[in-house]
């Protein structure tokens, strides 16, 4: 139990259903959908659509989506990859012809075809109880009638509004050329109209007709190579989830192009150490996590691309001998000199999770990658387009090398944890490249140190970034000094690392437990 003399949050408990999102309005929407007869997937899509309106810094219709679904909490999760692909005309030869050394994050070439809307509709068709129009209706109301900007959202908005590129983006997302302050009301009337079209026409409303015409015309005028065929051919797909064990818990992630495999590699390396003998904030424990992350991220940068290109990295999680050698390469007293580059610290995402009365569970994540994505908004759409394409590598032969109609390496990863073939928790930790570290750290805090779900999200965070380790301000100074003595170049982070949500099923106690990260505006709600 937490010390009530200090600021903090308590876990949420319920018997019928539990929702955890990064924004109270989204959590409230999900609960309302559940009370109207919707199931976990109905609630998840409704919450994601609301967040696409009220958290434009992090997510939107112009982004991507990944999901895990477990029926009744006792079935192996079904995984869906709703990430978009590069334009079919954008080849590495074309990139060289355009004299691109890399894909710039504000350019039209960074815009991959949005996959979120297709994902919502495909998941709705297979799993949902309610009509899609009813699910999308709350998002339309917020776009039309407006919403009040919460404090953390205002913080992110203020720190990143200069990333908005074109006039339409600035007109919609600024007030008198300035970002909104906490408590100010914002609307997006163009987005409301697009949502109405989708609610009535389904997939055709976004991938055929007027909406993609406007998007393609706009991107082509900026030099982009997108086509209407790219939108028409945009389809997410069901994939086989990957898994690995950590101390008798089975951890499920999506396969590449996500970096979920990196979280599994970190956990497999950590399993070789008796982490439980340390306190959760002990410098030796943090050191081991950092060193394991360096190894795993190094593999990511060398071997991770789309599913077709990532066979070698997939083999690592099942290679006991290699994992043993990797764990033995870690010096418990000294930092190694392995420095994997981390290119996109500061990217933003929304993660949410829902468990309904039948114990159906959804682990759900949406993102436009960096704050405000590409910063590009096609006229009369209100849609911020993602910049996920900046993740492509322009070196031929690299697994993540740019190719036509290819998915780039993706940072967002929803997770699930099973015990004795039953769902123990549905969870995710946001924050771009931080996510594998976050997934591993939070899970270790719960399993190795018996922290409750909320405490595991509250604790100070850290991440090796290029030539340094960035730690949050709340990490004790004595811990920082000890890390420095081991050879780590420790810097205090100017911004918090990510966010996170958890819903756990207590099978014996007959209750659901929810937790929501204090680094966001969110809340866990049940009924």
For residue 389, the 8-state DSSP code is: G
Instruction: Determine the 3-state secondary structure of 412 from DSSP.
Output: coil
Q: Is 482 part of a structural domain of the chain?
A: yes
Decide if 258 is catalytic.
Answer: no
Question: Rounded to a whole number, what is the distance in angstroms from the first to the last CA of the chain?
Answer: 22
Q: Is 2 part of a structural domain of the chain?
A: no
- Tell me the residue ranges of DSSP E strands in 41-141: 64-70, 78-82
Q: Report the C-alpha gap between 467 and 480 in whole angstroms.
A: 16
Q: Report the C-alpha gap between 298 and 250 in whole angstroms.
A: 24
Q: Is 29 part of a structural domain of the chain?
A: yes
Q: What angle do CA 133, 134, 135 make, to 5 degrees?
A: 90
Nearest by Cα to 51 from 21, 73, 13, 72? 21
Instruction: Determine the 3-state secondary structure of 231 from DSSP.
Output: helix
pLDDT at 348: 75
Q: Is 213 part of a structural domain of the chain?
A: no
Q: Report the C-alpha gap between 313 and 334 in whole angstroms.
A: 26
pLDDT at 182: 97
According to DSSP, the residues that pair with 401 across neighbouring strands are 393
Residue 511 is part of which domain span? 15-85+114-158+235-370+408-527
Q: Report the C-alpha gap between 132 and 365 in whole angstroms.
A: 19
For residue 162, the 8-state DSSP code is: G
What torsion do the CA atoms of 371, 377, 380, 381 make, to the nearest 10 degrees?
A: -50
Catalytic residue chosen out of the listed positions 59, 112, 349, 479: 349
Specify whether the CB–CB gap between 429 and 438 falls below 8 A.
yes
Q: Is 38 part of a structural domain of the chain?
A: yes
Q: Report the C-alpha gap between 364 and 30 in whole angstroms.
A: 13
pLDDT at 338: 78
Q: Is 269 part of a structural domain of the chain?
A: yes
**pLDDT 10s digit of each residue in the chain, 527 long?**
777 877 888 999 999 999 999 999 999 999 999 999 999 999 999 999 999 999 999 999 999 999 999 999 998 999 999 999 999 999 999 999 999 999 999 999 999 999 999 999 999 999 999 999 999 999 999 999 999 999 999 999 999 999 999 999 999 999 999 999 999 999 999 999 999 999 999 999 999 999 999 999 999 999 999 999 999 999 999 999 999 999 999 999 999 999 999 999 999 999 999 999 999 999 999 999 999 999 999 999 999 999 999 999 999 999 999 999 999 999 999 999 877 766 555 567 899 999 999 999 999 999 999 999 999 999 999 999 999 999 999 999 999 999 999 999 999 999 999 999 999 999 999 998 999 999 999 999 999 999 999 999 999 999 998 889 999 999 999 999 999 999 999 999 988 999 999 999 999 999 999 999 999 999 999 99
DSSP structure string for 440-465 = HHHHHHHHHH---HHHHHHS--EEEE
Largest Cα span, the chain: 63
Q: Is 211 part of a structural domain of the chain?
A: no
Q: How many domains does the chain have?
A: 1
Q: Report the C-alpha gap between 185 and 132 in whole angstroms.
A: 27
Q: Report the C-alpha gap between 148 and 336 in whole angstroms.
A: 47
- CB neighbour class for 187 (10 Å; exposed up to 12, middle 13-18, buried from 19): middle
Instruction: Determine the 3-state secondary structure of 178 from DSSP.
Output: strand
Residue 68: CATH number of its domain: 3.60.20.40
pLDDT at 51: 98
What per-residue string of b and e applies to 194-213 under the rule 16 or more CB within 10 Å gives b?
bbbbbbeebbebbbeeebbe
Specify whether the CB–CB gap between 44 and 362 falls below 8 A.
yes
pLDDT at 3: 78
Q: Is 202 part of a structural domain of the chain?
A: no
The set of residues, in sequence order, having a beta carbon less than 8 Å from that of 352 and lying 6+ positions away, is 19, 20, 21, 22, 26, 30, 44, 47, 48, 51, 364, 365, 428, 501
Distances 486 to 213, 248, 288, 346 between C-alpha atoms, Å: 56, 31, 11, 26
């Amino acid at each position: 139990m937490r010390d009530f003399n200090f600021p903090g949050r308590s876990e949420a408990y319920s018997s019928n259903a539990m929702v955890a999102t990064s924004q109270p309005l989204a959590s409230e929407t999900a609960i309302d959908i559940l009370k109207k007869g919707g199931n976990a997937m109905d609630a998840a899509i409704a919450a994601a659509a609301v967040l696409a309106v009220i958290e434009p810094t992090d997510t939107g219709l112009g982004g991507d989506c990944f999901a895990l679904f477990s029926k009744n909490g006792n079935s192996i999760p079904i995984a869906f990859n709703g990430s978009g692909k590069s334009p079919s005309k954008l080849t590495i030869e074309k990139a060289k012809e355009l004299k691109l050394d890399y894909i710039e994050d504000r350019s039209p070439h960074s815009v991959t075809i949005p996959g979120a809307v297709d994902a919502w509709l495909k998941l709705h068709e297979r799993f949902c109880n309610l009509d899609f129009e009813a699910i999308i209706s709350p998002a339309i109301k917020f776009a039309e009638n407006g919403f009040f900007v919460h404090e953390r959202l205002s913080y992110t908005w203020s720190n990143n509004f200069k990333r908005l590129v074109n006039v339409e983006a600035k007109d919609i997302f600024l007030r008198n050329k300035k970002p909104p302050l906490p408590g100010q009301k914002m609307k997006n009337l163009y987005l409301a109209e697009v949502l109405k079209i989708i609610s009535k026409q389904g997939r055709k409303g976004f991938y055929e007709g007027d909406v993609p015409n406007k998007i393609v015309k706009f991107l082509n005028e900026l030099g982009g190579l997108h086509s209407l065929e790219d939108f028409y051919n945009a389809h997410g797909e069901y994939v086989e989830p990957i898994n690995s064990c950590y101390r008798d818990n089975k951890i499920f992630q999506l396969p590449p192009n996500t970096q979920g495999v990196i979280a599994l590699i970190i956990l497999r390396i950590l399993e070789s150490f008796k982490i439980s003998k340390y306190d959760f904030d002990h410098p030796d424990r943090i050191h081991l996590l950092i060193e394991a992350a360096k190894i795993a991220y190094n593999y990511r940068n060398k071997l991770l691309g789309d599913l077709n290109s990532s066979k070698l990295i997939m083999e690592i999680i099942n290679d006991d001998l290699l994992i043993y050698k990797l764990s033995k390469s870690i010096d418990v007293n000294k930092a190694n000199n392995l420095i994997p580059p981390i290119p996109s610290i500061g990217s933003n995402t929304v993660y949410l999770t829902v468990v309904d009365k039948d114990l159906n569970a959804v682990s759900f994540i949406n993102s436009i990658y960096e704050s405000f994505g590409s910063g590009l908004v096609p006229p009369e759409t209100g849609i911020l387009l993602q910049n996920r394409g900046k993740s492509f590598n322009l070196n031929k032969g690299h697994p993540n090398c740019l190719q036509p109609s290819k998915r780039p390496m993706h940072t967002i990863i929803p997770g699930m944890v099973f015990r004795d073939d039953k769902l123990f928790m549905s969870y995710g930790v946001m924050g771009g490249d931080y996510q594998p570290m976050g997934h591993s750290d939070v899970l270790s805090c719960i399993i190795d140190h018996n922290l409750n779900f909320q405490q595991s999200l509250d604790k100070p965070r850290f991440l090796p970034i290029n030539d340094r380790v960035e730690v949050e301000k709340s990490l004790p100074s004595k811990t920082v000094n000890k890390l420095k003595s081991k050879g780590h170049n420790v810097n205090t982070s100017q911004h918090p690392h990510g966010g996170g949500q958890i819903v756990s099923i207590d099978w014996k106690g007959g209750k659901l437990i929810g937790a929501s990260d204090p680094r966001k505006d969110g809340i866990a709600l049940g009924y």
